[in-house]
């Protein structure tokens, strides 16, 4: 894990902890790298409820509750799929019947080839808080590992911005790539 990922993960965990909020993670293209970045930070268990790596498309529906018709129509690399994954993570990773306060999800194409008509580097990050879910689209350059690393940073940045209300690029960790 890079120093930048470490700093970004620590900032996210601190922001959540200060607000008494919990986090649930749903990952596809990052394959566990986002949750690994978070659990690398001491005290992550105070905030992180857990993570689901929904790499296979059907798991997005069966475990995270993503609309199967949406998946069939648009595929897994879709902004609404990212939003639904984030909301689904909050519910799936509830503790004692209480959904996580924040859900974050990653879906996209890390390569080496395009998927479903989407070019390599296409990434959608979803964040869900209460009854609101947002997504942000990115197009990252680089090889598979660089795209996955950039996706982790983008997910951490979007959670940080959502939780703190920080403006993009105004203190948010990990803000790189073309949106």
Q: Which of the four pLDDT bands, split at 50, 70 and 90, describes residue 60?
A: very high
pLDDT at 172 over 70: no
Please report whether residue 117 resides in a domain.
yes
Residue 171 domain-assigned? no
| pLDDT confidence of residue 168 | 54
Per DSSP, 175 falls in state -
Tell me, yes or no, whether 177 lies in a domain: no
Q: Which residues contact 20 (CB under 8 A, 6 or more apart)?
A: none
In the chain, the percentage of residues whose pLDDT exceeds 90 is 90
In a domain, 12, yes or no: yes
**Domain annotation covers residue 172:** no
Helix, strand, coil percent content, the chain, rounded in steps of 5: 40, 20, 35
Residue partners of 135: CB distance under 8 A and separation at least 6: 79, 80, 82, 83, 86, 124, 125, 126, 127
CATH of the domain at 110: 3.90.950.20
Query: For the segment 138-149, what is each residue's pLDDT rounded down to a tens digit?
Result: 999 999 999 999
Q: What is the pLDDT of residue 79?
A: 98
- Please report the pLDDT score of residue 153 as a whole number: 97
**pLDDT for residue 98:** 97
pLDDT band at 66 (very low <50, low <70, confident <90, very high): very high
Whether residue 30 is contained in a domain is answered as yes
Boundaries of domain holding 140: 3-164
Strands (E), 28-157: 48-53, 102-108, 122-129, 132-139
Mean pLDDT, range 96-102, rounded to an integer: 97
Q: Dump strand ranges (E) for 8-131.
A: 23-27, 48-53, 102-108, 122-129
What pLDDT is attached to residue 21?
98
* pTM, 2 dp: 0.93
Number of domains composing the chain: 1
At residue 122, the pLDDT reads: 98
Q: Is residue 169 part of a domain?
A: no
pLDDT digits (tens, 9 = 90+) for 83-92: 999 999 999 9
């Amino acid at each position: 894990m890079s120093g930048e990922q470490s700093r970004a993960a620590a900032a996210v965990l601190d922001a959540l902890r200060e607000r008494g909020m919990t986090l649930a993670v749903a990952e596809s293209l990052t394959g566990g790298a986002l949750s690994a970045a978070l659990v690398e930070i001491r005290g992550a268990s105070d905030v992180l409820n857990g993570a689901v790596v929904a790499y296979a498309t059907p798991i997005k529906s069966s475990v995270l509750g993503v609309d199967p018709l949406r998946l069939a129509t648009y595929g897994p690399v879709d902004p609404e799929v990212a939003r639904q994954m984030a909301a689904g993570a909050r519910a799936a990773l509830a503790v004692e019947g209480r959904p996580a306060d924040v859900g974050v999800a990653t879906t996209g194409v890390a390569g080496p080839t395009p998927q479903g008509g989407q070019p390599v580097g296409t990434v959608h990050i979803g964040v869900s808080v209460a009854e609101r879910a947002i997504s942000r689209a990115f197009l990252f350059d680089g090889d598979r590992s660089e795209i996955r690393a950039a996706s982790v940073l983008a997910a951490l940045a979007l959670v940080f911005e959502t939780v703190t209300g920080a403006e993009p690029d105004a203190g948010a960790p990990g803000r790189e790539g073309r949106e």
